[in-house]
Structure 1
């Protein structure tokens, strides 16, 4: 992996203030609105309180927004000819992938860090293990959505489509129990959607699987959800890449 190229790419991405706002600033703002200022923020939930529950949810939303955008833009760069330019340099494909992975995880860490710091400063409370493990799961699990970005980028081959993909995360977030607690038939349906398993797994150190409606998800459910969607996104990305090569 080329350190200079990685730093230049990181600088280019972080200079896009509008994108960084939606990646890092918006989740923090949502936390302040839905977690830090509500009357129920100090109410106990699992190994912490409601403020921490909302904090993890908003950090997860910010992390997947980052990885979706970077994964999608990486795919668009390749299919629009940047890959041919890189082919004239000593940079290997494996180094390019490693570089994008490092950038995606670094940018995804920004909303997690900011939201967790805000949570610590505004009354989010939980056990030390809940803080540490939830942060790690939030960051690691967001890598699945880099594959989602790759699918959109390789399928539609435009930066606009990548922006639309990031926009669809709002819908996934509602269905993933990130913004409002779901119940009944809608909750049952939500458990099959992409963000549900990731968010539930990130919150598991806090909630131990218990939901706001009093029911409990067994640990295997969010794990299975994450694994299945990772396979779906990975399979689709591979298929679109191969289809693109056949057209060429």
Structure 2
């Protein structure tokens, strides 16, 4: 029996699903309804970046009708990473034991959330993975699949992270895990934010588990992925990887 199997994990506590939004008026209502149906005991926090399309108003209407739905109105579009960090802090401040990352567009299927929560009973962090047996993507062009697989592989090799889908954004954290990751100095956004947190978790010695998911390309609205986000991920991962290797020779603490 290995160390992780011998370790005792505490109860999960209350679950908060954090859904960042920017111009997701077409998606916010159905995704929240699906979350509430899939895991009725879970609460939902919609972190809206002052969407000009009225997403925030729809979120307020959902919250008014359901005491398990909450809304965080942010000043403007500051990036996915910033929205999640604000949501994590809100959840910690309100005594949630589990904090879940989930996209608003339906790419992360709420119906698969019970599988992530079951795995979290014996883990510190659970990643929904597209690139392990049982995982898959639906309605993606080969070019995007190549980019995503390549990004995960490059990050895994550069950072020595034993995770197959290090860029994926469907995740369930224990509160204690987030508190141990040093979130105060996380500056990355978007695609790279996910790499950053996974790397921090592995470096900190947390037990990270991947479970297979089916990632479905959005049907409504526009993707937030951009060349800038991909470029940020590339240079940050490269800098972290080079810095980590250099630190092994100098004895300095690697970043992040």
TM-score (normalizing by structure 2): 0.29
- Which structure carries more relative contact order (alpha carbon 8 Å, separation 6+)? 1
Structure of higher CA gyration radius: 1
Higher helix share: 1
